[in-house]
Amino acid sequence: METPHYDTAVVGLGCAGLGISYYFTMKGCKVIGLEKNSDSGAMGTSSYGFTRIWRVTHADKLRNDMMRESLKLWREIELAVGKTLLENGAILNFGHPDSEFLKGIFSQFPDDPVIDGDEIMKKYPAFKNVPKDYIGMVTDTDCGVMRSNECLQAVKHLCLEQGANFQYNSHVVKIENDAQTGYFIITLRDGSQYIARNVIVACGYQTDKLKDETIEVMSYEVENFHIEEGYQGLPDAFLEDTPDHVYYGLKDGADLKSYKIGLHEERNIDAMMSYFQNRFDTNILGHAGENEKNKLKIKGSQPCFYSFGKDKKYNYSRGANGVYYAYGFTGTGFKFLPLHGKIMYSLVEGEDTGLDYPWLKREVMIARI
């Protein structure tokens, strides 16, 4: 019987693929990583950009437990590379009084004070027109902004140190199972091939190009507005749940001196422009004073593509063809980068994740085909 060249082939080296490669190589697996772009976090992918929000203030307990578990792994990564990747900061969650999102957060943090719309604008004067009956909560423990590009490069560095073989500009076109050996043959567009005992596809919104008939992948394009440097009067990050949309904002840029604002749903420029004009005092944001030209302006926008499964849950599964899949992180999975690896290692190799949720039990993930 032919010996496989690799224990595991990882197709896609964004946040999920790098997290998987990191954890598998840490466990001693021989890993080949294949990425069609020239580097991890390429423009247009969901891993592109300078920053992401990290927090334990999710509406559901599962995500908070996942963040705490992921944070342990992030601290190990930070120690290994000798730099801070997850910056601590204040996050404001606010919105309309009937928001289920906010009710979920408040129920988990009953001792934290809740503020109204007037208090929100007093604390963060760059906001305007916040209804008085809005409710909000500011959290500054176990949350903040992470330097996403630096995170990718740090984890990539550790993967290579641990023996991973990463091949960029490598476009996978076919994954076949060899019936005689049980191993997988991965074919690239240029005709070259790799052999592996297991294959994990983690291509984000492009996972559907390599799916089997049991895997359903959907995607949408979202838009981030990047605003000029010199902002003030805003929290380090925020999430606002309006009756119609969910918006977010956070510090951005290589030096964290600019800001980006986004809509957490399919691209809608009209909604974004209306929100920007109605919610922000551009005089305060841009240090304008009497000078019109110094008012804050939109610096540019950047589309990004997210994937999600039909039930909107993160999808860690094995297809009928024996290939494993990690996708459907809806643009919120970056902060869980190393935990994706731990969960997939549980699925592929049988190690317990330590997360006591039926949804993440190996037998449930195995059956999810």
pLDDT band at 309; cut points 50, 70, 90: low
Whether residue 313 is found in the same domain as residue 182: yes
Please check whether residues 157 and 212 belong to one and the same domain. yes
Please indicate, yes or no, whether residues 231 and 285 belong to a single structural domain of this protein: yes
The mean of the pLDDT values for the chain is 84
Q: What is the predicted pLDDT for the residue at 265?
A: 73
- Are 229 and 212 contained in the same domain? no
Does a structural domain hold residue 82? no
Both 210 and 242 in one domain: the answer is no
Write down the pLDDT at residue 209.
Answer: 63
**297 and 231 in one domain?**
yes
Structural domain of 301: 91-139+220-306
- With bands split at pLDDT 50, 70 and 90, how would you rate the model's confidence at 268? confident
Does residue 271 sit in the same domain as residue 171? no
312: phi then psi, degrees, rounded to nearest 5 = 65, 10
What is d(CA 211, CA 154) in angstroms, rounded to the nearest whole number? 29
Boundary of a domain, candidates 259, 279, 306? 306
pLDDT at residue 47 in the model: 74
**Would 173 be classed as within a structural domain?**
yes
Q: Is residue 81 in some structural domain?
A: no
pLDDT at 1 over 50: no
**Residues in Cβ contact with 206 at an 8 Å cutoff, skipping those fewer than 6 apart:** 12, 307
Question: Quick one: pLDDT at residue 289?
Answer: 42
Instruction: Identify the CATH number of the domain in which residue 46 sits.
Output: 3.50.50.60
In this structure, the strands spanning 237-241 and 91-95 are parallel
Q: Are residues 324 and 299 in the same domain?
A: no
Residue 60 has a pLDDT of: 85
- Split into its structural domains, the chain has a count of 2
Average the pLDDT over 205-209 and give the result.
65
Higher pLDDT, 221 or 224: 224
Whether residue 207 sits in one domain with residue 167? yes
Do the domain assignments include residue 76? no
pLDDT > 90 fraction of the chain, expressed in percent and rounded? 53
Q: Is 288 or 102 the better-scoring residue by pLDDT?
A: 102
Average pLDDT over residues 228-251: 87
Q: Residue 301: what pLDDT?
A: 59
240 and 127 in one domain? yes
Q: Do 300 and 314 sit in the same domain of this protein?
A: no
CATH of the domain at 255: 3.30.9.10
State residue 92's pLDDT score. 97
Domain-embedded: residue 84: no
Per cent of the chain over pLDDT 70 is 78
Predicted confidence (pLDDT) per residue in 71-113, tens digit: 999 999 999 999 999 999 999 999 999 999 999 999 988 999 9
Q: Is residue 65 part of a domain?
A: yes
